[in-house]
Amino acid sequence: MAIVVKLDDLLHARRMTLTDLSDRIGITLANLSILKTGKAKAMRFSTLEAICIELECQPGDLLAFEADS
């Protein structure tokens, strides 16, 4: 997939686990795991907003576009 989710990098930089993030933003661990592993097909603005608020980042810090080779 051309859109890469950099949630793992952001969590690592903030010394935070996926479980911590799940507890703080109220999105299930299963859904966050789908997002982290790049298996998600779509993302709600509300999810993006919650992650950006919690991790104090911009959407561009979380998502990147990498052209398929």
Partner 1 sequence: MPTDHSTLLGITRGLLWLMLALVAATFLFVVASGGALVTMWPDIAAEAKNSEIFLDVDAMRPQLFALLAILAAILLAAVYIIRQLQTLVASAASDPFIHGNAARLRRIGWALVATQLLAFPLGWMARSVAVSTSQFADMGGLNLQGILAILLAFVLAAVFERGAAMRDELEGTV
- Residue 19 binds partner 1, judged by CB under 8 A: no
Nearest CA to 61 among 1, 11, 27, 2?
11
44 is a site residue for partner 1 (CB under 8 A) = yes
Q: Which residues contact 48 (CB under 8 A, 6 or more apart)?
A: 59, 62
Instruction: Rule CB under 8 A: choose which of 9, 19, 39, 60 binds partner 1.
Output: 39
Q: Which is nearer to partner 1, 15 or 41 (CB)?
A: 41
Dihedral of CA 33/37/43/46: which sign? positive
Binding to partner 1 by residue 41, rule CB under 8 A? yes
Q: How many residues bind partner 1 (CB under 8 A)?
A: 12
